Amino acid sequence: MMSLRGRMTVYLIGLHLIFFALTVSLYRDRPVVFVTLELLLLISLFGGISLINNMLQPLDYTQRLHDLLQDKNYAARLQHTSNDGLGELVNLFNTMLDALYQERLKLGEQRGLLDRLLEATPSAVVVFDFDSRISLLNASASSLLGLATPEGMLLSDWLHGNGQFVADCDDRCRNRGLALLRQLDTLPLAESQLLTDPDGRRYRCQRSHFFDRGFARHFLIIEELTEELASSEKSTYEKLIRVLAHEVNNTVAATGSVLESLLFYQSQLEQSDRIDFRTAIEAVQRRNSSLGEFIDRFTHVVKMPEPERRPTAIAELMEDSLRLFREQCRSRGIRIEWRRCDTVAPHVMDHHLLAQTLLNIVKNAMEAVETSKREQQNDDGYILLELANEDGKTRLSIIDSGNRLSDVPPGQLFSPFFTTKKGGQGIGLLFVREVLNRHGFPYRLAATGQGETRFDIWIPAAS
């Protein structure tokens, strides 16, 4: 399609050709007038073309500005002209371009700062586009969820098997990612919730939104609170146990003294009443003593000494536990044996604390297997020990066929005073957690989904 300049020029030339044709009749009769008119028409034609160029020149500058804006080339500037009126327009356009350039530079600096903050923050951040598809995943979120090429995908894609995980994401990483994605996908807007992964680690997550070009976009912030909550819980139950220990010990001591004094009055009773009296007093004494021992067990967890780290042979440590429980397991019809035992170099740890930790774990496993055998009337019960070198770490595992944790939320397993055993006190796993946390050893207690329960402990490479 012909441009406006071309159409106006054609119109002007056509109009002057008509005038030229009309003046030809004057050529014979009045040649001087003919020549004069022809000169005037030529001057009019060139003057008209010049006026068209001057009139349409602002449109040319407007088109150049449009092209620069389309290319987002805000650093370029329009050339100035000698035309004063047009010069004001050029100055206005250049001022607009300079303002856009400064704004873009400012936004770029802010975006760069935001990107660096997102990469440096320990909190996991997931940003979505207008269609709730992932548009940004910072380093912490990538490490936590283990998602491969997440841009443009929905969180539910991984739940339906359509998403991929990074190459170095093992089964443990996948299970954690799927568990968190399942909870994140249903998290309501503007709400903060406490999430738990299969390893029992806890996270605070909030879904919020911001406006981009007038439309809302959602984002998630996930912050791990495991250590913070554990520290808060520990401080709380330490205060509680100290108060309980003080009150119970005072009561036990006073009650024990009174009971001993009461025995002196035994001789003043009728012969037929003496035996019942003594039996009742001794029963109360035993209960009083048991109460003191009960509170002492809690006190030992609170007053646990700092680990005395020395090189320790882990295989020998596990072998001691196996020998200690072999006869007890045999009498209950439970197999206890090695399933795997790699050659492992000595590791620096507190031998006594870790030995007691293993005893607690194996004892819990034995009791869980015995309970399952009784409930299911099954003769095949077992406890298996594994010691393996994996990915530069040593994995220590105790597997049992008890399967008592399938319906237990992971976040409750190591909570103070929580237990799955009838008559249990919730102290054993509390002690185990305290020892492993003080050593800095990652751990996991969970049902495998195949009728087994695993307690895994990962010990860093020997140093």
Contact 19, 36 (CB under 8 A): no
pLDDT tens series, the chain, 463 aa? 567 677 777 877 887 788 777 777 777 777 777 778 778 878 887 887 777 777 767 777 777 777 877 877 777 777 766 666 677 777 777 788 788 878 877 777 666 666 677 777 888 889 899 999 998 888 888 888 888 888 899 998 998 888 888 888 877 788 888 888 988 888 888 888 888 887 767 888 999 988 887 888 899 998 887 666 566 666 666 666 676 676 677 777 777 787 778 777 777 777 777 787 888 777 777 777 767 766 676 666 656 667 888 898 999 889 888 888 888 888 888 999 999 999 888 889 988 888 888 988 998 889 888 888 887 777 778 999 999 988 788 999 999 988 777 556 555 565 555 555 555 555 677 778 888 888 888 888 888 778 888 899 999 875 4
User: Which pLDDT does position 385 carry in this prediction?
Assistant: 94
User: Which pLDDT does position 463 carry in this prediction?
Assistant: 47
User: Which pLDDT does position 214 carry in this prediction?
Assistant: 84
User: Which pLDDT does position 266 carry in this prediction?
Assistant: 77
Please tell me the pTM assigned to this model: 0.50
**Angle formed at CA 173 by CA 190 and CA 160, multiple of 5 degrees:** 65
- How many C-beta atoms surround the C-beta of residue 161 within 10 A? 8
Q: Which residues of 113-151 are buried (b: 16+ CB within 10 A; e: fewer)?
A: eeeeebeeeebbbbbbeeeeebbbbbebbeebbbbeebe
Contact 209, 219 (CB under 8 A): yes
